[in-house]
Amino acid sequence: MEEYKDKEGEIIIMKTKHVMQINDKIYVAGHNGLVGSAIIRKLRKKGFENIITRSHSELDLTNQSEVQAFFETEKPDYVFMAAAKVGGIQANREALDQFMYINTMIEFNTIMAAFNTGVKKFCFLGSGCIYPRECPQPIKEEYLLTSPLEITNEGYALAKISGLKLCEYLNTHHPDKADFISVMPCNLYGPGDNYHPEHSHVIPALLRKFHDAKVNVSKEVVMWGTGSAMREFLHIDDIADACFFLMQNYSGDPGNEPNVPGMSWINIGCGSDLTMKELGAKIAGIVGFDGDITYDHIHPDGTPRKLLDSSRLFDLGWRPSISFEEGLKQTYEDYKINKDNYRK
């Protein structure tokens, strides 16, 4: 193992095939999104400035020839793959085909172009929704593909599983060339989220709903589902910190036999969850809404519970640093400024 000292003087013990150096060229795919923008902030805080990005209008990641040409021209050393088509329950269930097709194309084109051009290390951003609907809790990495997925976001989940598996197979069959890791975060939130009225994730959607109710002096807010579903949430700056940490310290677990995959993916969570009813009460308190909260049982809860087992990551020495209360307050302040600047 080697030691690496970053700009802030922190010593990183190298437990990986590769570790980023200050002058390395780093490509962050999806830099305008919630995760990508947070990763760029983290890299710059750590002193990394040789960062390349491309907007969708500049580079269509679903176009294989464009992506290959980009990698051949730019030759990045490291890649954070945070580009994806994302959305909440309603957006997913209305377009399962698009969520599967677009995400699979983005992932496969980027992963293979990175491999073909000799990228040193690749970090693929997956999702906790890859795990079965009825899964033992907390969810360990080895529970992948042990039973059926949640149908409301199955297309997105299958795309993410495919990306994870492609990274795993490249590591397995090309161990001297491939260093591709996959991270599976829980539900993410934070400043810079998409506050779309219909297609956002649960926290930005509820912030809008409770804020509008407060402004309009409504007597009640209606939440979807029964309120019993349980979710785990992680602040966006914590996921960026975890991705940076893993890029510097983790290369996956090698297989025990030739051509038998090891585990190249790792969970990222905070270690605790809460019910949607509890979440609604917290957001109501932060927003200042004092009316009633009721539940529309016609709409689905989605997966009953989704708490990741992040013990493998915690054992490496990483822990989240932003409390849920603090993170919600930050996000609400951001919402009040940017609520009309949502992505369609």
The catalytic residues are 156
The two beta strands, 121-125 and 220-224, are unpaired
Run of H or E including 188 = strand 187-189
Q: How far is CA 23 from CA 51, 76, 180, 265, in A?
A: 9, 11, 20, 27
Q: Which of 155, 189, 163, 280 is nearest to 228 (CA)?
A: 280
What is the longest distance spanned by two Cα atoms in the chain? 65
- How far apart CA 184 and CA 171 sit, in angstroms, is 17
Q: CB-side exposure of 53: number of CA atoms within 13 Å? A: 16
Please say whether the beta carbons of 231 and 274 come within 8 A: yes
244 alpha carbon, distance to own chain's centre = 13
The two beta strands, 26-29 and 78-81, are parallel
Q: Which of 99, 158, 104 is nearest to 129 (CA)?
A: 158
Run of H or E including 28 = strand 26-29
Run of H or E including 45 = helix 34-45
